[in-house]
Amino acid sequence: RARDEPGHLTLKFREKSEAVSNKEALRRELEEKEKKAKGAIEAPADSAFPEDCDEDPDVGGGDSDAESDRGSSGSDDEDEEEEAELMRELAKIRAERAAEEAKAKAVEQAKEEEEERQQIAVGNPLLEGGGNMQLKRRWDDDTVFKNQSRNQPKEKKRFINDAVGSDFHRKFLDRYIL
């Protein structure tokens, strides 16, 4: 009765579970944390040579401050500009690599999903749609012993009280000795 219900006529697919959505949320959360951590690491790297290092009281005596002000002002500016340019190029390269990596991941994920759909469609005989589906054969369909009694008349066994004269003994002699 329950098998006659219309709900038993359609094929039901599995839906993505909460574990999959939780994994995606966790991945997004980790990526955000990584971006924040990279930003925190890169921020001090931009100011690796601060202009205020001359004002630090722990560095050298009063005479060294005057000498450092005279000779290093021109080369420090050039070094800082070069370093800033290199840092911009490095950030640009990192961004390009991240974009390429994200694109490759998206392509790979799309390919995996398509393969999974294909595998599901091929693996399910109900969705194949071909009329070449055969019924399973019984295990004894191709055995030698099937339907023997129908084809051959049953021989009556005759009983002989002599072991040497019995039918079994004669067959044994014919088969193995003579």
Among 97, 84, 96, smallest CA distance to 42 is for 84
pLDDT tens digit sequence for 122-159: 776 666 665 566 677 777 777 777 666 666 667 777 77
Query: Which residues in 57-79 are b (16+ Cβ under 10 Å) and which e?
Result: eeeeeeeeeeeeeeeeeeeeeee
Q: What is the pLDDT of residue 50?
A: 56
Predicted TM-score (pTM) of the model is: 0.29
pLDDT tens digit sequence for 93-103: 999 999 999 99
Report the alpha-carbon distance of residue 173 to residue 167 in Å, rounded. Answer: 10
